[in-house]
Amino acid sequence: MRIKPTLYPILLLALYLPAGQTTSIAQTKSASAPVPEFPGFSVVVSLSEKSKAKLLQGHETIIVAGYLSGDPKKGAPKKITDEIGQINLGEIKSEVQPGQVAKFDEVKMKKDPLVWVDANGPQLLINVYSGRRSSKDNLLDCGIYEGALKSAQGTTIPIACKLIGE
């Protein structure tokens, strides 16, 4: 009988289990390739009086966009890095009305490139801009958030905005 090479780790594990204890293939695979959990966070956008009035007058929305990336581990394949040498892990976006909180309940990322991210882990960059409902151009000049995703988890991130040129 020929055993498939993918079953070797399972057979070896079975040799070391205490008598009567069993494990499934799914348990074995999940033990060898842990998938990190990334609980969410919120973003509260504060608006200047002028920007709030302009957005409300034009029935304008606010876009909160998050860009997930990471620095590559030593030995990571060059083909998975972008033009500035980072690994793209995905994007998240929420469109809210002025005064609403943008909630990101669970952050989902590309899992394959995640294994090549260094010990600093996934990084998060948040940009905020108008939804371009009343104008083809962005109306807002906003701060940003940049830091480790882990630091943002379970928090509410404040970002202040004003009108461009205000």
What single string gives the DSSP state of each residue in the chain?
Answer: -PPPGGGHHHHHHHHHSPTT----HHHHHHHHS-----EEEEEEEEE-HHHHHHHHHTT--EEEEEEEEEPBPTT--GGGB-TTS-EEEEEEEEEE-TTPEEEEEE----STGGGGB-TT--EEEEEEEE--SS-SS--EEE--EEEEHHHHTT-EEEEEEEETT-
Domain span at residue 3?
1-34
Same domain membership, residue 59 and residue 4: no
pLDDT at residue 110, as a whole number: 86
Provide the whole-model pTM.
0.75
Q: Are residues 25 and 49 in the same domain?
A: no
pLDDT at 4: 41
pLDDT of residue 38: 77
24 and 90 share one domain: no
Report pLDDT for 33.
35
What integer pLDDT is reported at residue 37 of this predicted model?
56
The verdict on 12 and 43 lying in the same domain is no
Looking at the structure, tell me whether residues 91 and 28 fall in a common domain: no
Contact 73, 117 (CB under 8 A): yes
* Residue 22 and residue 43 share a domain: no
The structural domain count of the chain equals: 2
- Extract the residue ranges of the chain whose pLDDT is less than 70: 1-37
Is the same domain home to 107 and 55? yes
Does 83 share its domain with 159?
Answer: yes
Residue 31 has a pLDDT of 35
* pLDDT at 72 (0 to 100): 96
Q: Strand 39-47: give its sheet, edge to edge.
A: 101-106, 39-47, 156-163, 140-142
